[in-house]
């Protein structure tokens, strides 16, 4: 692991946006100076470093440099904080994916699709602490966090479906795939990435990326036709 929690300096992390491979704006949509924002960043770092079961509210407030009362002014408990951090991660990842896919779609719908998938894996490599917390640390979380994770996968599927419609305005040849099919693929991808990161097999990510693109190629084959 990169460094112990005792050496985490949230003010430096927020100012530079690069410590531990984590960008605060991913979580806070440019409001990282807030106490709530510091807690969201800190909760991710703590879970990535110690795992969900060993991460405590005391650890989170210590890393964030805020009081326990401030924590409970913002969140009902550890799970509530982690859900908020996870939801913010999904939101910002989707925004970046849409931006990259739309730019690439100028070269055709498949180019947009590949660019969107590549963004997911670039994020994992560029923000390893976020990935560790999201894909591995939260596996042991309570039912509320797991429900949020399922909701996040559903949001991801709906976003991909809407993004495909947007790409269709650039390249009308973009086929259509139903949201349930996309959600099934995304949920499987989520778990497969977790398997690789859990054992530290980062090299497997390239294979997973290629398999994901291959699966999407099949799903978006014009021969399948519209599914909605």
Model confidence at 18: pLDDT above 60: no
52 touches 139 (CB < 8 A)? yes
Superfamily of domain covering 5-74: Homeodomain-like (1.10.10.60)
Kindly report, residue by residue over 43-87, the tens digit of the pLDDT: 888 888 888 888 999 999 988 888 899 999 999 999 899 888 888
Q: What percentage of the chain's residues is helix, strand, coil (to nearest 5)?
A: 80, 0, 20
Q: What angle do CA 79, 80, 83 make, to 5 degrees?
A: 85
55 touches 46 (CB < 8 A)? yes
How far apart, in whole angstroms, are the C-alpha atoms of residue 16 and residue 1? 20
Instruction: Give percent of the chain with pLDDT exceeding 70.
Output: 82
Architecture per CATH, 86-224: Orthogonal Bundle (1.10)
Average pLDDT over residues 99-117: 92
The residue written with tokens 């390893």 in the block is: 128
Distance (Å) of CA 127 to CA 68, 105, 223: 27, 25, 37
Please give the model's pTM, rounded to 2 decimal places: 0.77
Kindly state the tokens that stand for 71: 């924590």
For the chain, domain boundaries: 5-74, 86-224
Element (H, E) at 203: none
Distance (Å) of CA 116 to CA 103, 137, 173, 175, 212: 10, 25, 17, 16, 11
């Amino acid at each position: 692991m990169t460094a112990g929690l005792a050496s985490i300096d949230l003010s430096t992390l927020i100012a530079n946006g690069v410590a531990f491979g984590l960008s605060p704006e991913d979580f806070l949509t440019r409001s990282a100076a807030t106490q709530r924002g510091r807690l969201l960043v800190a909760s991710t770092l703590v879970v990535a470093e110690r795992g969900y079961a060993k991460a405590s509210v005391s650890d989170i407030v210590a890393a964030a440099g805020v009081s326990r009362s401030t924590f409970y002014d913002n969140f009902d408990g550890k799970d509530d904080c982690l859900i908020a951090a996870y939801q913010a991660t999904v939101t910002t990842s989707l925004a970046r994916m849409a931006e990259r896919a739309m730019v690439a779609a100028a070269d055709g719908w498949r180019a947009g699709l590949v660019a969107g998938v590549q963004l997911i894996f670039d994020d994992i490599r560029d923000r390893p602490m976020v990935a560790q917390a999201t894909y591995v640390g939260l596996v042991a979380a309570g039912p509320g966090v797991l429900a949020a994770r399922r909701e996040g996968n559903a949001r991801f599927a709906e976003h991909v479906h809407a993004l495909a419609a947007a790409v269709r305005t650039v390249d009308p040849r973009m086929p259509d795939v139903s949201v349930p099919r996309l959600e099934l693929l995304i949920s499987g991808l989520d778990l497969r990435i977790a398997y690789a990161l859990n054992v530290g097999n980062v090299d497997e990510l390239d294979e997973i990326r290629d398999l994901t693109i291959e699966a999407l190629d099949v799903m978006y084959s014009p021969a399948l036709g519209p599914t909605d």
